[in-house]
Structure formats: C-alpha cells, structure tokens
Amino acid sequence: MAKILAIPAGVLHLQVGTRLRQLIVEGAIAPGAKLNERALAEQLHVSRTPLREAIRMLAAEGLVDLLPNRGAVAAQLSAQSIADTFEVVAGLEGQSGELAAGRITEGELSEIRALHYEMLACHAVRDLPGYYRLNRRIHDAINRAAGNAVLRQTYTNINSRLQALRFRSNFDRDKWDAAVREHSAMIEALDARDGARLAAILRTHVLAKCACVLAQRALANEARPPESGTAV
C-alpha cells in the first residue's frame, strides 16, 4: 500500500486557501455570505487554525471581508466599485499586453498557446470551472510575460478582487462564446508581436466582462422580491 504523506503544516493554509478561493470564485460561497468556520473546517477536513490563516490570506487578496461582530464574509462589491475596479484592471491588462508582445519569449508563447488549446477543449464541453482556471492562467501568463515586477504585483493584487465576478460573466452563453473568440484574437496578436492590437483586445475584453457583470447584477436586483414593509 502506498504511503500517504501528510501535508506540511507550514503550507497547509496555502492549500486550504486555494480550495476556499475556488469555492468563492465559483459561487459555492455567495457574495456577502458568512464563512462558517466550523462547517468549512469539516468540509475541507482541516482544523480551524490553517482555515483562519487561509481566510486572512484571502482577506488580503480582497476576496474576503473581515467585519466587526460578523466575522469573515465573502466580499461583495458595490456597482460603482465593480465598475471602478474593472476600469483599472482593463488598463493594467492592456499595458501587460503591449509590453508582453515585445518581450515574450518563445517558451512563454508556447505555454500560452498550450493553455489556450486546453481552454478551448473545456469550452467545447461547457466545463466552466476548468475553462476559467485555464483562462486565468492565460491572463496571468500575459501579465508575467510583460516583464515588469511593479505591473505584476499591482495587477495581481487588484485583479484578485474580480475573480468571482469574472467567473460569473461566463454564465451568459453568448458572452462566453464571444470571450473565446477574443482569446483567439489575443493569440494571433501575440504571434504577430502586435502590442497595440493586443492591448486594445485585452481592454475591450475586460470592459465587456464589466458590462456583463453589471447587467447580471441589475437583473438580479430587479428579480429580488421587495423587503417586508416596502411599498410595491
């Protein structure tokens, strides 16, 4: 029988954070929902110590809010915060693309192409979680290929706040299909080392995500029943 190796205590919270991040991004934990430590510890088969460390890590990323007298809740951005954050990320991704087109190595480009083909396969079978994980790796790889440490840190910190929203923007099938076509155009621009074109595609791509998210939010608000005591 193969020996089961224990996860080192020093990195356990990182693995818990990865799983917890996935639950938040993919909507298993809804925006604004309280993170029940007891239930999550049982679900993830860990003690509360690494779970609390993971929650603090996600709070630093902006995925979790630590509220007085309420504890930890999944972050919920206002419509204005969503628009403002997407606007900044669109600029950062555009700059990443422009720089990456001129600096990317053949090895980095080959990696992005491989991720793109894997992503297309997930899209073909409508595997949204698999698709999104590959999608995020592509955007990350373009940012990394820009070769600018300050840009990388800024992008990573701000974009992490939008992961759950970017995931949900693909719930609309037509928008998801359009996003895939935009990704194919990104690969073509990278192949051509056309920084201006890639920057424009990325900015348009991110702002389209923003428009989709805000439209979904507006529809959800319209569908929500009025609170008790509210005039109809």
Helix, strand, or coil here: 71? Answer: strand
Helix, strand, or coil here: 78? Answer: coil
Same domain membership, residue 136 and residue 69: no
Pairing assessment for the beta strands 64-67 and 71-74 based on DSSP bridges = antiparallel
Q: In this structure, which amino acid lies at residue 227? A: E
Domain boundary among 29, 46, 74: 74
CATH of residue 62's domain is 1.10.10.10
Does any domain span residue 228? no
* 143-173 pLDDT tens trace: 999 999 999 999 999 998 898 899 999 998 9
Question: With bands split at pLDDT 50, 70 and 90, how would you rate the model's confidence at 230?
Answer: very low
Same domain membership, residue 85 and residue 46: no
* 95-143 pLDDT tens trace: 999 999 999 999 999 999 999 999 999 999 999 999 999 999 999 999 9
Does any domain span residue 232? no
Q: CA-to-CA distance for 217 and 135, rounded, in angstroms? A: 22
pLDDT of residue 69 exceeding 90: no
Q: CA-to-CA distance for 128 and 122, rounded, in angstroms? A: 7
Domain boundary among 74, 91, 108: 74
Confidence at residue 220, expressed as pLDDT on a 0 to 100 scale: 79
Does any domain span residue 227? no
Domain boundary among 24, 53, 74: 74
From the list 189, 186, 195, the residue with the least C-alpha distance to 103 is: 195
Alpha helices, H only, the chain: 9-25, 37-44, 48-61, 79-103, 106-124, 128-145, 149-159, 163-168, 173-191, 195-223
* 72-91 pLDDT tens trace: 999 889 999 999 999 999 99
Residue 32 lies in domain: 9-74
